[in-house]
Amino acid sequence: MTDEMIAIIVEGAAEEAILQVLIENDLLKFPIEKIYMEKVIRVRSSRNFQRSYLNQGLGDSKLVIYRILDSKKENFTLTKPYQRKVERIVELYTRPEIEMLFIIYNGDFHKYTSRFKSKIKPSDYVRQNYRDVKNPKSKADVYNFWSRRPNELVETIKKFTQLSSDKFDETISSILK
């Protein structure tokens, strides 16, 4: 039987920062030793992932890939030689955007959804309404905000999941402790 490693792939800087906070605070259901390269991988295309990460020695281990993304339309298909290195790919959604976490944290979810109904992006709403996050798409700003409150991050992710139309096992909550 092969040992499984976990690859966490994100599409943007905000997702990278949030997952990094979860890893550093041991808030995921798998230990850091099981996380491939012990870090969050920021890459969008399967081709770039294959070239940059799957050519490195996995030994007998197989990867379980968790992709954190906000769209169900993105394809991530591995070519045949690389498919044997991967046990499965799990897609976890943060629709409409990961920046919704700031809106939920500040208790403005219903205000945002009733007033704007997708006329304004969550990231723009955050920029306009919250002074404690200068740039909600900046890795540094997002990391600085959530690293000071990792437990609130977990609670906010759980609330986000409850408010989402996605199934539980298609959300970040499914990989939390």
Helix (H, G, I), strand (E, B) or coil at 74: coil
Give the span between the Cα atoms of 35 and 72, in whole angstroms: 24
Question: pLDDT at position 2, please?
Answer: 52
The rounded Cα 96 to chain-centroid distance in angstroms is 13
User: Cβ distance 37 to 26 under 8 Å?
Assistant: no
pLDDT in tens, 39-61: 999 998 999 999 888 877 677 78
DSSP-assigned letters across all residues of 17-49: HHHHHHHHTT-BSS-GGGEEEEEEEE---HHHH
Alpha carbon of 40 to those of 78, 110, 166: distances in Å? Answer: 19, 31, 23
Q: Where are the domains of the chain?
A: 4-93, 100-164
What is the reported pLDDT for 57?
A: 64
pLDDT in tens, 125-155: 999 999 999 999 999 999 999 999 999 999 9
pLDDT at 115 over 50: yes
Q: Which two tokens stand for residue 124?
A: 């723009």
Angstrom distance (rounded) from CA 147 to CA 39: 16
Average pLDDT over residues 160-170: 95
pLDDT of residue 117: 65
User: Peptide bond before 136: cis, by omega within 30 degrees of 0?
Assistant: no
Q: What is the mean pLDDT of the chain?
A: 92
Mean predicted confidence (pLDDT) in 59-79: 89
Nearby residues of 127 by Cβ (< 8 Å), 6 or more positions away: 133, 135, 136
H or E element: which one contains 89? strand 86-93
How far is residue 15's CA from residue 4's CA, in Å, rounded to a whole number?
A: 23
Contact 78, 86 (CB under 8 A): yes
CA distance 130 to 16: 21
